[in-house]
Amino acid sequence: MPKQNIYDNEVFFSGYKGIRDQEVNANVLFEIPNFFEMLPSVEGKKILDLGCGFGEHCKRLVELGASSVTGIDISVKMLEIAQKENADSKITYIHMPMEDISTLNDHYDIIVSSLAFHYIEAFKPLIVDIYRLLTEGGVLVFSQEHPFSTCYRNGFERWTKDENGKKLYLNLCEYGIERENESKWFVDNVKKYHRTFSTIVNTLADAGFSIEKMVEPTPDETILSQYPGYRDLFHKPDFLLIRAKKN
Amino acid sequence: MPKQNIYDNEVFFSGYKGIRDQEVNANVLFEIPNFFEMLPSVEGKKILDLGCGFGEHCKRLVELGASSVTGIDISVKMLEIAQKENADSKITYIHMPMEDISTLNDHYDIIVSSLAFHYIEAFKPLIVDIYRLLTEGGVLVFSQEHPFSTCYRNGFERWTKDENGKKLYLNLCEYGIERENESKWFVDNVKKYHRTFSTIVNTLADAGFSIEKMVEPTPDETILSQYPGYRDLFHKPDFLLIRAKKN
């Protein structure tokens, strides 16, 4: 199956880096805090980060006490930044698509992945590989785009709005049809893979995982008072986060 | 917390019985076959059916080899029909709201519930009670209205249609806000409780369950060729079914 590397496209890379350099966005407000809150204690733990990108999570995991972190990513450009900005003696960055992790000859206490799985076509083999790479009782924590986002078809109307432009409804279209969707995000033809809740849950369960926690972040009153636009997340959460334990 | 008994309302009861007497509907085509397919072997098993209604599932479970089935329901009228149409020496019908099952002094190998949990306000205590009533390794199989249905607010537009009336999108509104929704179904003020996927999953996980399977039924080609109207289920599955095991 083809492995998608949008991050080494120049146009995409600079657009993406622009978002990541923002001080406030949905990642900062919702994805990152929920991601770290869902983690078990990382103290003394050996961790693998799938799609580590700029390595911010690797660095933070070391700061939180991880004994070692291996970050892999398909993008050379991302790893160059990671080496420059988030190097550490306890971190090893490896240039590798996550579809190839079965070639790793090691085991990990915790495997994490932040906002990458929706780019992966072969989800089931990936989850099976992750299960195999975890130690007994090891934990997978991942975030991905919410299924309400991955099921969006490029060119369709995403929202029904009132005459003042206020979002009334999310236009949910063919949630039940799993598929590759092409969307434009800085560049054309970014491929995302739509999977339903049941497919995600069953893939984990069939591989032998117990799901311990699922989060679909929405804003609290503090965030809403500062950033009322995030009220839209009540119609469509941006992210889905899951913690699953190897039985 | 109030316990809802719509089924003893005369108007509701006759409307509901009319649907249940249909030979083909969404229950017959999707809910019932998926429900029985998800069950573990019931051979020799002691089973509790929460919200057993007319007792059809109780009867079928006995036919499939269950050693005993206890069916409970909040509605006297439903249980009268159950006693008349689906009596069996291995079945005991008890008039009891499922919120009161903690008073049962017994254990069950399998607990089932078909299309009733969305009427229950106190979901978490119910799941805790079910866990306690199951034997070690016991299994809960339940169906409920899909969260895309339970989050529907009475009076809102459910669909965006084209000029020919074809359904283009489900108008998904405030999925992320859990709440009691009043809707009209034969009678006014039928109360349904909207819970997100994550709340349902976390309630089961927190109680100690491992989710083994989740199903959101959609039609296959055979059903579509006969009943093309069910194509809408790709936008909005009607049902959510879950099998969870007591750890």
Task: State how beta strands B68-73 and A134-145 pair.
Answer: unpaired
The H-or-E segment that residue B75 falls in is none
Residue A244: CA count within 13 A, CB half-sphere: 30
Distance from CA of B56 to the nearest CA of A (A): 27
Total number of domains constituting chain B: 1
Spatial strand order of the sheet with B209-215 comes to B91-95, B68-73, B46-50, B108-114, B134-145, B239-246, B209-215
Chain A: residue nearest B159 by CA? A171
Distance from CA of B86 to the nearest CA of A (A): 33
Q: Which residue has the higher pLDDT, A191 or B204?
A: B204
Quote the radius of gyration of chain B (alpha carbons, Å).
18
Say if the Cβ atoms of B233 and A176 lie within 8 Å.
yes
* Domain span holding position A213: 6-246
The answer to whether position A87 is within a domain reads: yes
pLDDT at residue B230, rounded to an integer: 95
Distance from CA of A12 to the nearest CA of B (A): 30
Q: Which residue has the higher pLDDT, A45 or A160?
A: A45
ipTM of the prediction? 0.94
Chain A: residue nearest B246 by CA? A210
> Nearest to residue A83, comparing CAs of A91, A245, A145?
A91
Mean pLDDT over all residues of chain A? 93
Chains A and B: how many Cβ contacts under 8 Å? 110
Token pair recorded at residue A133: 């790479």
In chain A, what percentage of residues exceed pLDDT 90? 79
Token pair recorded at residue B222: 């055979």
pLDDT at residue B56, rounded to an integer: 96
The answer to whether position A42 is within a domain reads: yes
- pTM for the structure as a whole: 0.94
Chain A: residue nearest B201 by CA? A214
Q: What is the CATH number of the domain that holds A53?
A: 3.40.50.150
| φ, ψ of residue B195 in degrees (nearest 5) | -130, 145
The answer to whether position A239 is within a domain reads: yes
Instruction: Report how far apart, in Å, the C-alpha atoms of A243 and of each of A9, A39, A186 are.
Output: 31, 8, 30
Specify whether the CB–CB gap between B146 and B240 falls below 8 A: yes
The H-or-E segment that residue A211 falls in is strand A209-215
pLDDT at residue B1, rounded to an integer: 67
Closest to B174 (Cβ–Cβ): which among A160, A205, A235?
Answer: A235
pLDDT classification of A186: cutoffs 50, 70, 90: low
**How is A59-116 classified by DSSP, letter by letter?**
HHHHHTT-SEEEEEES-HHHHHHHHHHS--TTEEEEE--GGGGGG----EEEEEEES-
Which region, left, alpha or beta, applies to residue B163 given φ > 0 means left and ψ of -120 to 50 means alpha? Answer: alpha
CA distance A12 to A10: 6
Q: Which residue has the higher pLDDT, A155 or B242?
A: B242
**Best interface-test mutation with B: which of A206, A214, A245 has the largest number of B CBs within 10 A?**
A214
pLDDT classification of B185: cutoffs 50, 70, 90: low
The answer to whether position A1 is within a domain reads: no
Specify whether the CB–CB gap between B175 and A235 falls below 8 A: yes
User: Tokens 């078909």 correspond to what residue?
Assistant: B114
The answer to whether position B1 is within a domain reads: no
The answer to whether position B199 is within a domain reads: yes
Residues of B with Cβ-Cβ distance to A201 under 8 angstroms: 201, 211, 213-214
Chain B: residue nearest A218 by CA? B176
Say if the Cβ atoms of B170 and A173 lie within 8 Å.
yes
Say if the Cβ atoms of A213 and B233 lie within 8 Å.
no
Closest to B177 (Cβ–Cβ): which among A169, A210, A234?
Answer: A234
Chain B: residue nearest A210 by CA? B210
Distance from CA of B246 to the nearest CA of A (A): 12
CA distance B48 to B30: 22
pLDDT digits (tens, 9 = 90+) for A37-46: 999 999 999 9
Chain B positions touching chain A (beta carbons under 8 Å): 148, 156-157, 160, 168-177, 196-198, 201-202, 205, 210-216, 218, 233-237, 247
pLDDT classification of A8: cutoffs 50, 70, 90: confident
User: Tokens 């002094």 correspond to what residue?
Assistant: B105
A159-181 core/surface letters (b: 16 or more CB in 10 A; e: else): bbeeeeeebebbbbbbbbebeeb
Say if the Cβ atoms of A197 and B212 lie within 8 Å.
no
Query: Quick one: average pLDDT of B135-150?
Result: 97
